[in-house]
A and B are shown apart, each in its own frame.
Chain A
Amino acid sequence: MIRRLRALLVRLGNLFAGASSERDLAGEMESHLQMQIDDNVRAGMSADEARRQALIRFGGVESVKESCRERRSLPALETFFADIRYALRMMRRTPGFTLVAVLSLAIGIGATVAIFSVVDAVVLRSLPVPEPGRLRMVKFESHLPRAPRFSHPTFERLRRGYPDPAGLAAMSRVGRLRAIVDGGGEPQIVAAQLVTGEYFHVIGVRPVLGRFLAPDDNIRAGDHPLAVVSHAFWRDRLGASTDAIGRTLSIGSATFTVVGVAPEGFTGVWLESPVDVWLPAAMQAEARYSQNYSASDSEPDKPWFGQDGIRWLELIVRAERLDGREAAALNAAFRPAVLEEAKTIEDPRQRELFLQQQLALEPFERGSSGLRQRFFGPLIALMGMVSLLLLIACANTANLLLARASARQREMAVRLSIGASRGRVIRQLLTESLVLGMVAGAGGLAIAPWASDLLVRMTIGDASVPVPFSVGLDSRMLAFSVCVSVLTSLLFGLAPAWRTTDLSVAFALKGGGSRGVHDGSKLNLGKLLVVAQVALSLLLVAGAGLFVQSFRNLVQLDLGFEPDHIVSIRFDARGSTYTPERMPDLYRRLIARAEAMPGVRSASVAMCPLLSGCRSNVDGVAIDGYQSQPGEQVLVQENRVGPRYFSTVGMRLIAGRDLDSRDVATSPRVAVVNETLVRKYFDKRPAIGRRFGYDAPDTEIVGIVQDARVNAAREAVVPMAFLPLEQSPVSGSTLEVRVAGDAEAMAAALKKAVAEAAPGLLIDRVTTVANQASLGLSQERLVAGLTSLLGVLALGLACLGLYGLMSYAVRRRTAELGIRVALGAPPARVLWMVFRESQVLVVAGLAIGLPLVFAASRLMSTMLFGVSAGDPSTVAAAALVLASVAAMSGYFPARRASRVDPLVALRMD
């Protein structure tokens, strides 16, 4: 075995041995012959006879040499390399052809690889943990809309009933908390996740330093001030030193001791929210974590740890096998609580629905990602479109190869007639295509990282945020681009190679090949390729048109408020001296300070900033006079705002009064609601003066405000209530300031003013609402921008294809055209004849492309906004653009045809 391997290596080495081994071989044969001749002479033959007999005995020097050559190295590879050398020579000889083919393919391949790398990072890649396929998340299977969150007591019940008590873990979402390293220095925001002690066991990674949290580290609320930090946090903020273990992080009211460092690359299970610090779930109150929870019959201000009414944990398991045993055990442990809670539901149908709920295990191989959910559709659409572009580039190259092939028909005829098999010649031609494809692939790979970086920036939409996950050149990307390049080469090379070698040898040798008259109007491969290009281009151009139209509709959409000229300053009072009792005073001080500044029109405060993704939904709202259906969620989104909020952000009050300084903690609870709430829950009856509230209707509606898209431009307006912030203060809020001039320019001054007015207050983020609006449209901007680019490229390639085909046809038919002109055909007639020929192809392409557009646009209808799939005017515009650009590229060859000089034409050949 090892000997065979050695032989193989020697033979591989001999691929590059070159002339010296050839001399060696010739010398050995020569010396052999000489020795035989010597012996023959010694045996008494004459010199001539001795030589003759020696040659007869030897039996053909060349054939022996050939046998040796076959053994010397690897002949299959040797010819492959020879073909490659020949291909490179051909490429150098036709630089124009090479440039166009390589460039168009490189753009196609580069774009495909770039988009694939993002698809891979966002959609396909698994978590960097051992055997990620075995991770499962616990979900509800229920007819009731319900977030898959659990309270800590529920988790404990499920864990006790689970076959492997260490195999079930709970975790919170990733929250932004304020932390101080080693008790000194500036407070900073860290991304923290609260987990139970089983978390790291379930995930299955090993610490690079110290230890991870264990089940014993999560027993009693407030008793376990321990922290595990990520590798990046350890490197960047703890100086990557081994004595990081034992250092402290002050978060909230507790001082956490670092016990371990997670391995590099593992940043939790949320793709776009890398975790800095993992804390025990028992430390929720001390860490002041209060995000992403659902509460009922509970006190959110007390520790959540033992409260059954606060659901804030997601559960994951590592399932060794999937035989349903795990899910059955979970359901058995979950059932008693469901039965217990069902008793409190009076409505029988509602109870029935409630009792049907089940737990199920869902794959969690790739972790969670909001980005994935949001961009899955757009990325797949882009992947499809970029594949189309690559197809167009392939068709284009195939067309160029076909044209070149006719120029090489003599060469092929000679090769075939001196004994090369057709397979051998096809192999040679395919090698040439492969070289072309590989060179283009290398070019594509060179532009891909740059393009994918741009793509991710556009996807995230904020240049200041570091890319939270790696997209880059790795072995997967390399393998993908090699596969794409090879496939592409086969795609554009196979048909031309087949066609080129299919010729009557005698015909081509006689010189007929260069003056063919046999393909006048016959449907041939080149024409088919142009028709396909036109059809595919229409698909891309029309798709781009639809996306651009959607984006324009969104940009011009009336949001219901005026996003321009508003600065949002988010602050976080948790862990500072600003206790909930002092918040109303803080609000008044901040508003007064901001309004005192020159250039400020008005200022107000709110719990949730506009278009920020912050939202607070209240379920189970009781509304005066509204009877809910069984299973219906009476859901109201709420925001808590300060006085003059509506005029500050530009929402129009259409009835009743605004919230103002009368509405304080001690006054009756009031609210302003939006039109949708009135429409949905009051159905034309007057709403002002009516009451609603959680459990009991205790809040009076004093005003109605016009509907506004406060969450996102694309999101339909939901029932909303605005409550006075002073009646229910929150520690994290936002100062919204309307300014007279440029909001960006005012941002820094406002931030400084807030910092002066409230020393010690953590200012989290300062943005403008216009900026938030633009961020919210990043997905649409990305798709519209990229598809436009792809559309333009496709258009260019299709026109190039048409132009190339027609110019070539005109050159081939110069003699025929010359005869026509000589016989008296007016130039205009010739021009029209050639032009018509090209436009027939365009019309055919459009006719095939149109049904494709209508079919394909239906697939992407959910991504469109304010424009229907296959919108006639958009599609018509796309067809018109394509037709006019194609007309131009068909016109120039036709004009050249009309100017053929009959004398010159007839003298050719």
Chain B
Amino acid sequence: MAKKADVWQGTLALMVLKTLDTIGPLHGYGIARRIEQTSGDLLSINYGTLYPALMKLEQEGYIASEWDVSDNNRKAKYYSLTRAGHRRLANAAKEWDRTTAILARFMSPGEAS
């Protein structure tokens, strides 16, 4: 089995926001599973990091939470993106594109002019 990578510092919040943007309101367990699946099981989420991160995002007003009932009839706390969260995600995505574009120029071989 391939060694699982830790989540990079600072990117967890972004992944959470993106997940909530894609799926809609979701509980902590669902968010963790979704991130792991999306990464092709290359990432393993530490819950001792995930839950404080969710708390921080909520305190900063990017996400909101609400108790609801799941498909399997389990009570769970559902997180959803707020408007500030949407804005933040859009900004972060733009930032990410720029960063990767710049890095890509450095990394791709033979294009130096």
On whether A35 and B51 interact (CB within 8 A), knowing A6-B61, A7-B56, A27-B77, the answer reads no
| Residues of chain B with a CB closer than 8 A to A11's CB | 59
Of B2-10, B67-75, B104-112, the one touching chain A: B67-75
| Residues of chain A with a CB closer than 8 A to B51's CB | 28, 64, 67-68
Contact B60 A68 (CB under 8 A): no
On whether A31 and B77 interact (CB within 8 A), knowing A6-B60, A36-B29, the answer reads yes
On whether A32 and B55 interact (CB within 8 A), knowing A3-B60, A58-B47, the answer reads no
Bound: A261/B48 CA distance, A: 68
Across the interface, B48 reaches (CB within 8 A) one of A4, A38, A63, namely A63
Within 8 A of B (CB), among A1-58: 3-4, 6-7, 10-11, 24, 27-28, 31-32, 34-36, 38-39, 58
Across the interface, B75 reaches (CB within 8 A) one of A27, A68, A71, namely A27
Bound: A100/B47 CA distance, A: 52
| Residues of chain B with a CB closer than 8 A to A63's CB | 48
Across the interface, B59 reaches (CB within 8 A) one of A10, A36, A70, namely A10
| Residues of chain A with a CB closer than 8 A to B75's CB | 27, 31
Within 8 A of A (CB), among B27-53: 27-30, 33, 46-49, 51-52
Bound: A71/B29 CA distance, A: 19
* Chain A nearest Cβ from B68, distance in angstroms: 10
| Residues of chain B with a CB closer than 8 A to A28's CB | 28, 51, 76-77
Contact A7 B59 (CB under 8 A): yes
Listed residue (A11, A28, A59) with the most chain B CB atoms within 10 angstroms of its CB: A28
| Residues of chain A with a CB closer than 8 A to B56's CB | 7, 71
* Chain A nearest Cβ from B2, distance in angstroms: 18
**Per-residue contact bits, chain A 333-371, to B (CB 8 Å; 1 contact, 0 not):** 000000000000000000000000000000000000000
Q: Is residue A72 within 8 Å, beta carbon to beta carbon, of the partner chain?
A: yes
On whether A32 and B47 interact (CB within 8 A), knowing A27-B75, A38-B72, the answer reads yes
Closest partner residue, chain B, to A3 (CB atom): B60
Bound: A67/B29 CA distance, A: 17
Interface residues on A, range: 20 to 34
Across the interface, B29 reaches (CB within 8 A) one of A24, A27, A35, namely A35
Bound: A34/B30 CA distance, A: 12
* Chain A nearest Cβ from B52, distance in angstroms: 4
Contact A70 B61 (CB under 8 A): no
Contact B52 A70 (CB under 8 A): yes
| Residues of chain A with a CB closer than 8 A to B29's CB | 31-32, 35-36
Closest partner residue, chain A, to B51 (CB atom): A68
Bound: A71/B50 CA distance, A: 11
Contact A35 B72 (CB under 8 A): yes
Contact A3 B52 (CB under 8 A): no
Bound: A110/B2 CA distance, A: 72
Contact B72 A31 (CB under 8 A): no
Closest partner residue, chain A, to B55 (CB atom): A71
| Residues of chain B with a CB closer than 8 A to A58's CB | 47
* Chain A nearest Cβ from B89, distance in angstroms: 14
Closest partner residue, chain A, to B77 (CB atom): A28
* Chain B nearest Cβ from A71, distance in angstroms: 4
Bound: A473/B51 CA distance, A: 48
Contact B76 A35 (CB under 8 A): yes
Contact B60 A7 (CB under 8 A): yes
On whether A6 and B28 interact (CB within 8 A), knowing A35-B74, A64-B48, A67-B48, the answer reads no
* Chain A nearest Cβ from B76, distance in angstroms: 4
Closest partner residue, chain B, to A39 (CB atom): B33
* Chain A nearest Cβ from B44, distance in angstroms: 9
| Residues of chain A with a CB closer than 8 A to B62's CB | 3
* Chain B nearest Cβ from A50, distance in angstroms: 14
On whether A32 and B28 interact (CB within 8 A), knowing A64-B47, A71-B52, the answer reads yes
| Residues of chain A with a CB closer than 8 A to B52's CB | 67-68, 70-71
* Chain A nearest Cβ from B7, distance in angstroms: 15
| Residues of chain B with a CB closer than 8 A to A59's CB | 46-48
Listed residue (B59, B67, B70) with the most chain A CB atoms within 10 angstroms of its CB: B59
| Residues of chain B with a CB closer than 8 A to A67's CB | 48-49, 51-52
Bound: A63/B29 CA distance, A: 17
Bound: A104/B70 CA distance, A: 63
Bound: A59/B59 CA distance, A: 25
* Chain B nearest Cβ from A26, distance in angstroms: 11
Contact A34 B74 (CB under 8 A): yes
Bound: A328/B53 CA distance, A: 69
Contact A4 B46 (CB under 8 A): no
Bound: A70/B75 CA distance, A: 25
Bound: A36/B48 CA distance, A: 16
Contact A4 B60 (CB under 8 A): yes
On whether A35 and B70 interact (CB within 8 A), knowing A63-B48, A67-B48, A67-B51, the answer reads yes
Listed residue (A3, A27, A36) with the most chain B CB atoms within 10 angstroms of its CB: A3
Contact A31 B60 (CB under 8 A): no
| Residues of chain B with a CB closer than 8 A to A7's CB | 56, 59-60
Bound: A28/B52 CA distance, A: 12
| Residues of chain B with a CB closer than 8 A to A35's CB | 27, 29-30, 70, 72, 74, 76
* Chain B nearest Cβ from A67, distance in angstroms: 5
| Residues of chain A with a CB closer than 8 A to B77's CB | 24, 27-28, 31
Closest partner residue, chain A, to B88 (CB atom): A3
| Residues of chain B with a CB closer than 8 A to A72's CB | 55
Bound: A72/B59 CA distance, A: 9
* Chain B nearest Cβ from A659, distance in angstroms: 91
* Chain B nearest Cβ from A654, distance in angstroms: 92
| Residues of chain B with a CB closer than 8 A to A36's CB | 29
| Residues of chain A with a CB closer than 8 A to B27's CB | 31-32, 35
* 18 examples of A-B residue contacts, CB within 8 angstroms: A3-B60, A7-B56, A7-B60, A10-B59, A24-B77, A28-B51, A31-B27, A31-B74, A31-B76, A32-B47, A32-B76, A38-B72, A64-B47, A64-B48, A67-B51, A68-B52, A71-B52, A71-B55
| 9 nearest CB pairs, A to B | A71-B52, A7-B59, A3-B60, A10-B59, A31-B76, A35-B29, A67-B48, A32-B29, A64-B48
19 further A-B pairs in the complex, CB-CB below 8 A; given A3-B60, A27-B75: A3-B61, A6-B60, A11-B59, A24-B77, A27-B67, A28-B51, A32-B27, A32-B29, A32-B47, A34-B74, A35-B29, A35-B30, A35-B70, A35-B74, A35-B76, A58-B47, A70-B52, A71-B56, A72-B55
